[in-house]
Amino acid sequence: MTEKPVMAGKPDGLFSPFILNGLEIPNRIAMAPMTRSHSPGGVPGQDVAAYYKRRVAGGCGLIITEGTTVDHEVASNDPKVPQFHGRDALEGWRGVVEGVHEAGGLIMPQLWHVGIMRRQEQAVNPEYQSAAPSGLFKPGKRVADPMSDAEISKVIDAFARGAAEARKLGFDGVEIHGAHGYLIDQFFWEGTNERDDVYGGDAVGRTRFAAGIVSAIRREVGDDYPLILRFSQWKQQDFAAKLAPSPESLEAFLAPLSAAGVDMFHCSTRRFWEPEFDGSSLNLAGWTKKLSGKPTMTVGSVGLDNEFVAGYRGEGAQATGLDTLLERFEQGEFDMVAVGRAILVDAEWPNKIRNERFDELRNFTTEALATLS
């Protein structure tokens, strides 16, 4: 029999409100963005709205949607991934926003461009070459031509238009996907960015594309609209990759992004409890908050004992207590917590944590995914 998780600490702090650029979020738990591919033709339907509404009813303080692609010919890798442009898709998202708000929740879209991770022959618009700063899938593997300055400007404009549409539709803010080896992260990473112009060079130069997106969004939505940037050290192409191998390099990386107008950094790790640098127990979110002075959101196997890559090997994960998370939160290491797989298989996860119904927490298994709704 599997031993049920227990917690010595009280989870009350996770259920205190947090204000992000004027937006009052009722608690510190966000639903992490997780790709579903349940939007045929790129249009989210009523089932998508119902999916998010269930997580609001389950106690999530903030919904961050699955990645939704911006208006660029090669932004998407999958015709069933929702897009954030075009009349039908935007009307679909209007229904999602209205549903979440009717349930009393808050929601932000995660604006996304997959870049060179796109499988050209299987993707939307297969006649177009995929986009990448230097045409590199990973170090030494060139599969496309480098993006031109004109193409870079088009993508920056596409993100800005997407954010403007989000505000018009009534979303409560936006998140930019700058992690996991996708397009923005391909500019961040020296392994895929060999440009010698203003968008390349050192770590600061490699932030210029993302900073340009943030600045363009700010011009469209104003200063009073919450803007989150998700970033990661690791890449799908290389789990051991490091954008910033030291606190000093991380500080240099964060500075231009903060100055451009990021309100919160969503710091993606595979295991939130792992220290980011030697000599300190701080994780990536902790270091980011310390060095940037900005609020941060942590993520990475929260509530589970096995990280997500194990799922690709058919391995499940057992539900766990949150004492380590609570200790770090109470020490001020981060301000919010994004929860992925635990909420994916259990829409009631936040309510169960809040009410200390630990014996009801669900494990992440193939069987649990089969009953997902």
| Residues marked as catalytic | 182
Which residue carries 């002075």 as its tokens?
Answer: 293
Distance CA 222, CA 249 (A): 30
Instruction: Tokens 């990386």: give the residue.
Output: 253
Reported as half-sphere exposure (CB side, CA atoms, 13 A), residue 178 has a value of: 32
- Burial (Cβ within 10 Å: 0-12, 13-18, ≥19) of residue 240: exposed
Backbone angles phi, psi at 115, to 5 degrees: 60, -135
- Rounded to whole angstroms, the Cα distance separating 282 from 295 reads 15
Sequence letter at residue 217: I
Q: What angle do CA 201, 205, 224 make, to 5 degrees?
A: 165
| Euclidean distance between CA atoms 238 and 254, whole angstroms | 21
- β-bridge pairing 264-268 and 296-299: parallel
292 three-class SS: helix
Which of helix, strand or coil describes residue 175?
strand
Residue 178 CA to residue 137 CA, distance in Å, equals 16
Q: What beta strand segments (E) does 102-222 contain?
A: 107-112, 136-138, 141-142, 174-180
Round to whole Å and give the CA distance between 211 and 31. Answer: 25
